[in-house]
Amino acid sequence: MDKIIGSHNNENDNSMFADDIIHNVPIALINYRQHSDGTNATTYLSDWCLELWELSEEQVNKDPNFLWDQIHPNDVRTMKEKVHRSAEDLTLFDNEYRIITPSGKHKWVHGIGMPRRMEDGSTFWNITIIETTTEHDVKDMLNRKTKELKASFKGMVQIVSKAVELRDPYTSGHQVRVAAISTEIGKKLGLSNRILEGLTLGALVHDVGKLSIPIQILTKPVKLSEGEMAIIQEHPRLGMDLFAGAHLPWPIREIIGQHHERLDGSGYPEGLKDQDIILEAKIVAVADAFEAMSSDRPYRKSPGIVKAMKELNDFSGIKYHTESVEALNELLKQGVIL
Ligand SMILES: [Fe+2]
């Protein structure tokens, strides 16, 4: 039996194969030559080129510079740089760019070609070009949809945050202040916008589990009994349960569940240690402790900012995340947080 993989029987088969590809596969092929004096010429165009650029053969013959003329003005510079680099270093030309067709259509195309130096000093490329407009349209649509989804999530988180504070007027504004402090600490730590976004939202609802705690315990104006404290300490877990079905693009459940954990394992509800607590929860823990200690509660007067910071500094690296405590010290010194 003849070998049928990876070879053709004769020259004729080879050329038929190439012809089939050129005519039937939606790929545009171009032979492009750049002379040493800087001038250039397109020496071959496959049928698909005319389709892609929406040009007739006469138009192409009339304007040999059409390849450059149709490039989107914002992409011309990159194209020039890439052609130049490819010619200089004899490295693969690889560029995705936009073209504008005579009918005004904007298309994305992706061209790839290996250069060869010819005897006369010119550089020659066999460039393969495919249209990638659909890919870009899908990407744009996905980006738009992701933005819309994120906006809906943010709206939902804000509503939930308000619901918690409406139910417990004694701690009104607590989550909003913790979110503001956490965000400032996160900025000082140099976190990316995406992580900051999740940190702010998580802090805004970190006490959501209090919705599931009986109101008499939550707003009791005297010190709580041990049993009542145990119920209150369930709120991180209860909060995680409330967010169990929400598939959010940020670790909000973890922030809710871990904001009372401490580095040395002395926190609750799980007694997690340093390496098992996510950074965002460590930041919220510092901001939460600071905010709680510097505000009045129904059963006690505020110990004040100085005492709050003493507690945080004393236990920095033991219970509280050192870098976050340092950042908070600086923010207070700079007056960013009052
Ligand atoms: Fe809490």
From first to last of the 338 residues of the chain, give the pLDDT tens digit.
Answer: 455 565 556 667 777 777 777 677 778 899 999 998 888 888 888 888 888 999 888 887 777 788 889 999 999 999 999 999 999 999 999 999 999 999 999 999 999 999 999 999 999 999 999 999 999 999 999 999 989 988 999 999 999 999 988 888 777 789 999 999 999 999 999 999 999 999 999 999 999 999 999 988 888 888 889 999 999 999 999 999 999 988 888 999 999 999 999 999 999 999 999 999 999 999 999 999 999 998 876 666 777 888 999 999 999 999 999 999 999 999 999 988 77
Question: How far is ligand 1, taken at its centre, from the CA of residue 234, in Å?
Answer: 10
Q: Quickly list DSSP for 243-278.
A: TTT---SS-HHHHHHHTT--TTS-SSSS---GGGS-
Question: How far is ligand 1, taken at its centre, from the CA of residue 260, in Å?
Answer: 6
CA distances from 103 to 71, 106, 107 (A): 14, 9, 11
Question: How far is ligand 1, taken at its centre, from the CA of residue 191, in Å?
Answer: 23
Question: How far is ligand 1, taken at its centre, from the CA of residue 192, in Å?
Answer: 25
SS3 72: coil
SS3 61: helix
Residue ranges of domains in the chain, CATH in brackets? 11-131 (3.30.450.20), 145-333 (1.10.3210.10)
Question: How far is ligand 1, taken at its centre, from the CA of residue 162, in Å?
Answer: 15
Question: How far is ligand 1, taken at its centre, from the CA of residue 269, in Å?
Answer: 11
Question: How far is ligand 1, taken at its centre, from the CA of residue 263, in Å?
Answer: 16
Question: How far is ligand 1, taken at its centre, from the CA of residue 139, in Å?
Answer: 39
**Rounded Cα gap, residues 296 and 91, in angstroms:** 68
Question: How far is ligand 1, taken at its centre, from the CA of residue 205, in Å?
Answer: 9
**Rounded Cα gap, residues 146 and 73, in angstroms:** 29
